[in-house]
Amino acid sequence: MLLEAEVHSELRGFLRDRDWERWPHHLTMARLVARALRLGRPALIQTGSLSENYSLSYLTPALLARDRLLLVAPLAVQQRLLSHEIPQLQNWLETDKPVLSGDRLPGEDFGGLLVTSPEIWLKDRLFNQGKFPPGLPTLIDQADGLEALARQQLTASLRWEDWNHLAQNYPLWQTSLTETHQQLEQAILARPSNPYDCYLLDEQQQQSLASLLHELSKSTELTLEIAHFWQQWQQEDAMLWVELQRETGRVTCKLRPLR
């Protein structure tokens, strides 16, 4: 029996048994997901509904598919799926497919359903961390939020804590660090307020900061955050700006790719 037919039959029985009329498109979506899994093809499905309404439609093929799968879902959704929908479906389907939550594949012999968060999955994809192998079939709940999340993941920050860490751990650079940081704070505080408290650095401020980070990168072992910030800055399409907390007077430098 094709996966689509098996999924349709089992989900229809499950919905009828529970008099489930909350969402009318379960069977259609379940067949689309099952077909995509069987053929190994991508599918983007816009539901116009909440996850709690449509989740059964992708969970049924995920639990009936013979292969191991990855499910990417926000933590709040994960909690609901793991405590309610998945146990109910597994009981109905009489399947013992392993279901785990975690930040990496447990091992090459794992053949079940692994549940992880969008932040963990996207960071693995963007920075090649190797937590999830290539070609692993992946279901992404609320995929329309990936663009905003990718921008967040690709944003590098230079915070007050990072300046403080450098000043404390590298006494030879303490004067330069303190002066550069204070000049930056004073210059931003002197700017007219705007609704976002975000400001672009002028050319002189950028040169001063770049010169300091360049020297630090040659002579010290930077933290991962500062090293990432400096690497991002050297990209051709990097956008640099400063966010200001006016109540504390602290500034955070941020970098993000334009594309």
Q: What is the DSSP code string of 63-97?
A: HH-SS-EEEE--HHHHHHIIIIIHHHHHHHHT---
Q: What's the fold here for domain 3-153?
A: Rossmann fold (3.40.50)
What number of other Cβ atoms are within 10 A of residue 28's Cβ?
A: 12
CATH 3.40.50.300 in the chain is located at 3-153
Query: Running DSSP on this structure, what letter comes out for residue 205?
Result: H
pLDDT along the chain (259 residues), means of 10: 94 88 89 96 90 92 96 96 96 95 93 96 91 94 91 89 82 84 88 91 89 81 80 87 88 89
Distance CA 251, CA 159 (A): 7
What number of other Cβ atoms are within 10 A of residue 90's Cβ?
A: 16
pTM summary value: 0.81
Taking a C-beta distance cutoff of 8 angstroms, is the pair 46, 28 a contact?
A: no
| Residue type at position 238 | A
pLDDT of residue 234: 87
pLDDT of residue 247: 83
pLDDT of residue 221: 66
- Per DSSP (E only), the strands in 93-189 are 99-101, 113-116, 138-140, 156-158
| Among the listed residues 175, 173, 158, the one whose alpha carbon sits nearest the alpha carbon of residue 253 | 158
